[in-house]
Structure 1
Amino acid sequence: MKQASTEAYAKINLTLDVTGKRPNGYHDVCMVMQSIGIHDIVTVQTENGADDIELTVSHCNLPTDSSNLAYRAAQLFLQRTNKQSDGIRIHIEKHNPIAAGLAGGSTDAAAVLVLLNDLYQTGLTQEQLMEMGLALGADVPFCIAGGTMLAEGIGEVLTPLPHAPQAFVVLCKPPVAVSTPAIYRAIDSVDIARRPDTQAMLRALKDGDLQAVSALLYNVMQPVTANMHPEIDDICRIMREHGAMNAIMSGSGPTVFGLFADRERAEKARKFLAAHYAEVFLTKFCRAGQVKRA
């Protein structure tokens, strides 16, 4: 039996703009994506003497069949590499919030691809793994590479950026369900009155200017999602009142994150929000995607 593990990091969107819609229904986006420190732990075993794939997940009730993106990642890897399963066992120790706008499913799928490449010694480059991951979802390539990236196209055209200046990040996921397809349908029917200044964000990152990065946070999906779930804007306001330099929603929501310059203020905000919401986290930016564990 062989075994390897990796930390599968969540992401946030420092900016998110929807720039068009393609004939196939996919949307063009322009966004600055950032890995953060909260993570699942994904462990893969091979050579278990079987010819199947088995997935288990702790701390939640996610499906463990082919409806799970991590399971499909293993299927895709075998198909693309012409390998036969020798008994693949995947276990996800789940810590990332689910359906939160933080790429929780995508990062687990990315981890499975990275680990199987290592265990089967297929020698695929990071770029080849990212190309494979795109077949699973637009966020998977970013989750393989991680760090700070400009994402264009449908999210798959990635350009590495200077590392974001370090900040304390408080995340709060309200107990509401958000459908990403529904948010995209809604955004198609509204005029986007304000858009992020992506070029200014790129300059702020190059300068390592946390105040400027914070001031430039913006997500065009937030007005749409917050119109359905007003608590999103309420959480942003609470974070700013408790010392956040700025706070916005990540992805299509519903998770809100705030950036703090110091841990003391971030911890106070976390404690206040934790008294009202079950899923509240304090973390920092992360400079890598998949990090292998001993």
Structure 2
Amino acid sequence: MNLSLRVHGRRPDGFHAITTVLQTIDLCDRLRVSRTDSTAPLALELPDGGAPEDDSNLVLVAARAFFEAIGEPARGVRFELRKSIPAGSGLGGGSSDAAGTLAALQELWGEPLGSDDLRAVAAAVGSDVPFFLVGGTVLATGRGEELRALPDIGTASVVVAVPAVEVSTEEVFRCWSGVRSPVGEHRGVDVLPAEAARAEAASWLRGNDLEPVARRLHPEVDRLLLAWRAAAPGRSDRGPQVSGSGGAVFGIGSWKDAERAVEGLGVRVIRTATRRRRRGVDSDS
């Protein structure tokens, strides 16, 4: 999820330049990867649905990119994906699936790619895919692919509410007009490591420039935020805030009164927690 997100403007390549603090949480999809007959085409199954099974699925996009990078035919692998992360929620479900695919294939094929090459493949698949190879608390710049690992904030409870709407990231960025979020201030989001080392999860909640756009495009997101804030006044330092381009809204800590209020809107409420980065990845790397 995005603890903070600032959009700086459109780049010459068509992407938007951003600065964001990203944080992994325990909510995750389940991906099983197994080798099959070397002549068999790539196969993807989604027993519970929740995402397309065609070539647009980022699992298959990532697999094809991996095999192209190592110079081998894209075949001989079966993927079974069980979705828990709602599509179009701003929680990075597709990107995390892509990162899981790359990590699994890298291991199954005997680590043919160096770490820099693997990150380059991930960035070609999606702007935030490299982040999911690392996890934890990370400062991302560029279009989201340039990473600086921050000291982990540790484990904190998180409540996520997801309205019954699938938000298009492309549409939200297209409609962004440079208006800053009224929620919080982006005060020095690229803080010095000394401050970052003292940070807890809530201290990174400094606004999301895409939140006003998501609220304008999707009334469901607007109603969710209004109901949550009305049920828990005086706690804006811990949320709620839109993640990414929406429509998921999250808060740090316990929100029992707010949970009851938003459940009346028919949203999906998820209780989860922040997750530390993968072993072997240091801060400020």
| TM-score where L is the length of structure 1 | 0.83
Label 1:247 to 1:193 Cα distance change in 2 as closer, same or farther (>3 A).
closer
Checking the alignment, whether the CA contact within 8 Å between 1:138 and 1:156 is kept in structure 2 is yes
Which of 247, 251, 264 is the aligned partner of 1:258?
A: 251
SS at match of 1:227: helix
Residue 241 of structure 2: aligned partner: 248
Residue 237 of structure 1: aligned partner: 229
Label 1:136 to 1:209 Cα distance change in 2 as closer, same or farther (>3 A).
closer
Q: Give the drift of 1:123.
A: 3.7
Q: Give the drift of 1:15.
A: 0.6
Label 1:17 to 1:248 Cα distance change in 2 as closer, same or farther (>3 A).
same
Whichever residue aligns with residue 170 of structure 1, its letter is V
- Following superposition of structure 1 onto structure 2, how do residues 132-281 of structure 1 map, counting pairs within 5 Å? 132-188=121-177, 190-192=178-180, 196-197=186-187, 198-199=189-190, 204-210=195-201, 212-213=203-204, 216-228=205-217, 229=219, 230-238=222-230, 240-241=232-233, 245-260=238-253, 265-266=254-255, 269-281=258-270
Whichever residue aligns with residue 196 of structure 1, its letter is H
User: C-alpha deviations, 1:56-76, integer Å up to 9, x for none?
Assistant: 113224221211111111111
Higher strand share: 1
Label 1:136 to 1:239 Cα distance change in 2 as closer, same or farther (>3 A).
farther
CA distance in 2, matches of 1:234, 1:191: 19
Label 1:145 to 1:199 Cα distance change in 2 as closer, same or farther (>3 A).
closer
Identity of aligned residues (%): 30
- RMSD, aligned CA: 2.5
CA distance in 2, matches of 1:14, 1:26: 21
User: C-alpha deviations, 1:74-101, integer Å up to 9, x for none?
Assistant: 1111111112355210011111111110
- Aligned pair 1:20/2:9, yes or no? yes
CA distance in 2, matches of 1:269, 1:233: 10
Checking the alignment, whether the CA contact within 8 Å between 2:63 and 2:74 is kept in structure 1 is no
Label 1:66 to 1:254 Cα distance change in 2 as closer, same or farther (>3 A).
same
- Following superposition of structure 1 onto structure 2, how do residues 124-135 of structure 1 map, counting pairs within 5 Å? 124-135=113-124
SS at match of 2:27: strand
SS at match of 1:60: coil
SS at match of 1:135: helix
Which of 43, 68, 72 is the aligned partner of 1:79?
A: 68
Label 1:211 to 1:175 Cα distance change in 2 as closer, same or farther (>3 A).
closer
Label 1:289 to 1:65 Cα distance change in 2 as closer, same or farther (>3 A).
farther
Structure 2: gaps of 5 or more residues: 280-285
Label 1:210 to 1:82 Cα distance change in 2 as closer, same or farther (>3 A).
closer
Q: Give the drift of 1:117.
A: 0.8
Q: Give the drift of 1:268.
A: 5.5
Q: Give the drift of 1:232.
A: 4.2
Label 1:132 to 1:276 Cα distance change in 2 as closer, same or farther (>3 A).
same
User: C-alpha deviations, 1:168-193, integer Å up to 9, x for none?
Assistant: 100011112322222112213x4437
SS at match of 2:111: coil
Q: Which moved more, 1:76-85 or 1:245-254?
A: 76-85
Aligned residue pairs, count = 272
Checking the alignment, whether the CA contact within 8 Å between 2:50 and 2:86 is kept in structure 1 is no
Label 1:39 to 1:222 Cα distance change in 2 as closer, same or farther (>3 A).
same
